[in-house]
Chain A
Amino acid sequence: MPLYHNDDQAMLKDSVAPFVAEQAPVAHLRKLRDQADATGFSRDLWAQFVEMGLPGMLVPEEHGGLGMGHIEAGIVLEEIGRNLTPSPFLSTSVGAVAALAKAGGTQAARWLPAIAGGEAIVALAIDEGAKHRPDRIATTATRAGNGFRLDGKKSFVLHGHVADMSIVAARTDGGITLFAVPKDAKGLTADPRRLVDSSLASHVTLDGVEVDADAVIGEVDAGGDVLDALLAATRTGAAAEMVGVGQGAMDMTVTYLKERKQFGKLIGEFQALQHRAAHLYGEMEVARATVMKAQELLDQGSDGARLMVSVAKAKAGRAANLAVREGVQMHGGIGMTDEYDIGLYMKRDRALAEFMGDVHYHIDQVARMNGY
């Protein structure tokens, strides 16, 4: 398959890009922020996503979705990134769907149609400390009565305080098991914190949360594969969103270079800035290609996907970070003001960079996957 969007994908982009730009531009984020919105996203906007069928893009058709792939989901995520749109799309429609679809069974049948129908927001309760360390999950699930009892603490759970269900990764006797924990479960508390990018992420406490045996997503002790599917999809999605953030920041900056005058010249005439902008362009193009390759390999179910997903998260992280740093610097003083949008790009990039493993984590993963 050639590594560019086919006609159907280009059409999807042509409909999603103006939709997000019109309905949820950066002003939409500002409005939610300035109202101290307690949900973390606009339910009205989510309803419009539902009308377009977007939440169920990755949901298999037999569960009421569109059965599309990660390239298509990436198209939506790039626009979300470009417009800094607060949305549960990545956690719910990409990460959770990937896990549920991989696992199948009762929980898939219960939640996939609800996600596709826009009736369920799902949070991903994976991290337990300030850094992403999925191989050191300490939350426990012990057999109790008819099911399990969950104890532990989770952090950086986006939308955790409003989620209808949280996917909780916990340690069982023989390995990792994933659980679907409904929002009203006794002993489950979510303490939302406002992050630098105005999003809300929760510290989640599981204090003797009791769930039935059928709350298991996939198989007991064998949740590693399901967790891997969740992580691969979410990381790739976050990388796609970062490509949007970086592209948005770069486009805004290049435009500024053509408008701002100093020393009687447009600052874009200065070679010192031209070369840095051109270098950034190259990095962004490489990041875009890398993310698309990871999406393609995921869609093909290729063995090489795991490596490329880490490469994509790391590369998109580096490129988008460069884009927002150069963006603020090249904007000069105005780039430091809250009034101007470029700073918002820097903040969103920082949060996305940390989500599901930062650049350093994934560079280390690439070394491990190559045997050193």
Chain B
Amino acid sequence: MSDLDAFRAEVRAWLEANCPPEMREPIRDEDDVCWGGRKWVFKNEAQKQWLEACVSKGYTVPDWPKAYGGAGLTAEQTKVLKQEMKRINARSPLDSFGIWMLGPALLQFGTEEQKVHYLNQIARGEIRWCQGYSEPGSGSDLVSLQTFGEDKGDHWVVNGSKIWTSYADKADWIFCLVRTDKANKYQGITFMLFDMESKGVTTKPILLISGNSPFCETFFDDVEVPKTQFVGELNRGWDVAKYLLGHEREMISGGGAGGDMVSIGALFAKSLGRNDHGELDDPILRAEMAAFDVDVFAYRAMGERFMDMWKTGRAHPASSNMMKYVGTELNKRRHELVMSGGGSDALEWDSPETKGGARPRGWLRTKANSIEGGTSEVMLNVIAKRILDLPGA
């Protein structure tokens, strides 16, 4: 038996013993996803147990070093763990922007002290982070951001506002791009970390077309941030931000974008009915769904290849932009088909039978996929410039 086979057997046994049956059920509601943090209320005992079991094993962040709360697994071992979790339909024990975004940035740019402190908090699900990037006047042109941190010796005084801050009202801390040098566009931004309970921080949820408010406006009014709380070099926060955007794109593309990756046609076979040949009784919609299924299965292979190459340093550094572009466009297409498949039932906005309009709200939510974290158009610009090396891009 190879080492990897032995590891697989060990993981399988551990999962069997530690993953509660309730955590092997498909995710039905938003609070089935555990985000952790100071304000988190566990939905049930199983969710708590599963998180604690994974924390003790380092499996919330399996490929991080043990000193920072991970399990120190290799890329291959991590893949085995994911495969084994998928095999029993185990839910993710902990989802967070700390794991997907801040963590990788700290691993790359953080001091040893920062890594030990913040990464362990993230791995244990103690602190929920949000991301302060976009501003009302700085969307795709992010580097034009104006939120300013005035140097007061041992601390900054931060003033300004951020927008599209995901779950800012639920987060404990923020990682935030703040201008610290007005004379220098790219090299005048510092990547700061601070507590959302700091004096002068307020958040205001934004009502979206989906009728939900996953994003906030976040205002900073003379917020004091100690000058120890920044990542990387002073005024070089843009480097950290760019690195982190790569991970954000990786997350959006790798995790959510393809949706749950099951055949969409199979999902609708029952509700749409079948003809005498057992085919979906709507030939044009069947054809569109099947063409979509081809793209979903293809994208799943792409995701596997991308992760295999990314984790071993073989991927083009800008390839996460391609993954983000393809994945988010695919997810929007999925939800268009979900709406078509659902017919007038999928138009119901708040009926109990539709779980409060889950389908139309989900459909509308996906329209943001190709805007947040860099628009599809920006992704195409980056691919054209950095991968295809086209002139003047």
Contact = CB atoms under 8 A, between A and B. Distances in A.
Interface stretch (B30-38, B108-116, B303-311): B303-311
Contact of B326 (A286, A293, A307, A314): A286
B383 A282 contact: yes
A363 B290 contact: yes
Interface string A297-311: 000000000011011
Nearest to B79: A2
Nearest to A313: B294
A288 to B, nearest CB: 8
B269 interface: yes
Interface string A1-26: 01110000000000000000000000
B387 A281 contact: yes
Interface in B245-291: 263, 265-266, 268-269, 274, 278-280, 286-287, 289-291
A9 to B, nearest CB: 13
A126 B280 CA distance: 29
B390 A254 contact: yes
B269 A363 contact: no
A315 B293 CA distance: 10
A303 B286 CA distance: 24
A287 B305 CA distance: 11
Contacts of A275: 377, 380-381, 384
Contacts of A287: 298
B306 to A, nearest CB: 7
B153 interface: no
Interface stretch (A32-40, A52-60, A266-274): A266-274
Interface residues of B, number: 47
Contact of A367 (B265, B308, B322, B383): B265
A195 interface: no
A4 B308 contact: yes
A263 interface: no
B266 A292 contact: no
Given A278-B388, A279-B380, A370-B263, A269 B301 contact: no
B301 A281 contact: no
B391 interface: yes
B314 A4 contact: yes
Contacts of B308: 2-4
B315 to A, nearest CB: 9
A258 B390 contact: yes
B191 interface: no
B302 A274 contact: no
Looking at A265, A282, A308, A364, which has the most chain B CB atoms within 10 Å of its CB?
A282
Main secondary structure of the interface of B (DSSP, over half): helix
Nearest to A316: B298
Contacts of B76: 2
Interface string A230-271: 000000000000000000000000100110000001101101
B381 A274 contact: yes
A245 B322 CA distance: 21
Interface in B123-158: none
A222 interface: no
A366 interface: yes
A286 B299 contact: yes
A213 interface: no
Given A277-B384, A289-B298, A364 B392 contact: no
Contacts of B295: 286, 315
Interface string A190-223: 0000000000000000000000000000000000
Contacts of A269: 390-393
Contacts of A312: 298
Contacts of A310: 294
Interface string A323-357: 00000000000000000000000000000000000
5 contacts: A265-B392, A277-B384, A367-B280, A367-B287, A372-B268
Interface of A: 2-4, 254, 257-258, 265-266, 268-269, 271, 274-275, 277-279, 281-283, 285-290, 292-293, 307-308, 310-312, 314-315, 318, 362-364, 366-367, 370-372
Interface of B: 76, 263, 265-266, 268-269, 274, 278-280, 286-287, 289-291, 293-295, 297-299, 301-302, 304-306, 308-309, 312, 314, 319, 322, 325-326, 377, 379-381, 383-384, 387-393
Given A278-B379, A372-B278, 6 more contacts: A3-B309, A4-B309, A268-B392, A314-B294, A367-B287, A372-B289
